[in-house]
Structure 1
Amino acid sequence: MPALFYHVTQSPVEEVVASLLQRALGQGWRVELRGTDAARMDWYDQRLWLGGDEAFLPHGLAGGPHDNLQPVLLTTAPKPEGMQAIMALDGAEVSLDEIAQKERVWILFDGRDQQALERARAQWRDLTGAGASAQYWSEEGGRWEKKAEK
């Protein structure tokens, strides 16, 4: 599977995260939601609890006693055991091996943040340069469209 780069421009990133997580859980996948900052992952932890009964996303923060049972594990470090998918946020690293081994890898970045754009471009160059296949998706037209594939 290719790494899926999601250029978020119209929706709040957390809404895209929640939507993709719902779909992944519907596929029966366990997902590692990987960020770069513990405080930001705490923020996502709180945000995912606010969805209400219909939109609730079962999850936990890494470091708890039941990490290996969490459908969605929020972390700042790779947790390769038992996860079928990785969703990388805020420039979190994803390796070539992870892309090859997982059912799905998403790399989400906020298109309104120039630093995030530059980091995503660097990740694209690094991963595709190392041989990973990748797709670039953008919502700038109001809906998700595949803009590039390598």
Structure 2
Amino acid sequence: MPDVLFYHLENQPLEKVLPQLLEKTVERGWRAVVETGSRERAEALDATLWTYRDDSFLPHGLAGDEIDPDQPILIATGSENPNGANVRFFVDRAVPQSATGYERIVFIFSGYDPDAVVEARGAWRALSADKGNAVTYWQQDPGGRWVKKA
């Protein structure tokens, strides 16, 4: 049964939250694909993952290279899974349609973008309707900690 986690950003930007979640993913020995809505955002996230902390290295690459199967983390703009990822992250208005083929789906959306909230509600309904998914909703408290709300 795939876990489907909805992360509602309110107090921290994606660029702060995503690296932390990816670190935990890699620590578990999982591979990840981060799907974003555009090549420009994929390139921006690539730069963020190289520079988000001085004392850390998060191995990753942009999808579309011959070494994609070897990458622990890939940033993609499409639905491919060339590195055999266990976890798929959806960010920047990329919306999950199914959890099939993954152990975990992570959908991160901004609470300050009304269109993203509408898309998240639609994804929640669709993914909750599949009784094979374990769907949870997480929201940031004022201190930036994640609190399970549903």
| Fold match (TM-score > 0.5) | yes
Shift of 1:84: 1.0
- Identity in percent: 36
1:125 paired with 2:125, answer: yes
SS of corresponding position for 1:22 = helix
Which of residues 75, 91, 94 is equivalent to 2:93?
Answer: 91
Shift of 1:55: 2.4
Matches within 5 A, 1:1-150: 1-81=2-82, 82-96=84-98, 99-131=99-131, 132-142=133-143, 143-148=145-150
Shift of 1:83: 0.8
SS of corresponding position for 2:55 = helix
Contact kept, 8 Å, 1:51 with 1:57, in 2: the verdict is no
Which sections of structure 2, spanning at least 5 residues, go unmatched?
none
Which sections of structure 1, spanning at least 5 residues, go unmatched?
none
SS of corresponding position for 2:49 = helix
- For each residue in 1:111-136, what CA deviation from the matched residue of structure 2 results, as whole angstroms up to 9, or x when unmatched? 11111111111111122124333100
The number of aligned residues is: 146
Q: Structure 1 counterpart of 2:94, which letter? A: A
Contact kept, 8 Å, 2:9 with 2:139, in 1: the verdict is yes
Give the distance between the partners of 1:46 and 1:77, measured in 2 at CA.
19
SS of corresponding position for 1:24 = helix
Give the structure with the higher percent helix. Answer: 1
Give the distance between the partners of 2:16 and 2:128, measured in 1 at CA.
27
- Relative to structure 1, the CA distance from residue 2 to residue 52 in structure 2 (aligned partners, 3 Å threshold; closer, same or farther) is closer
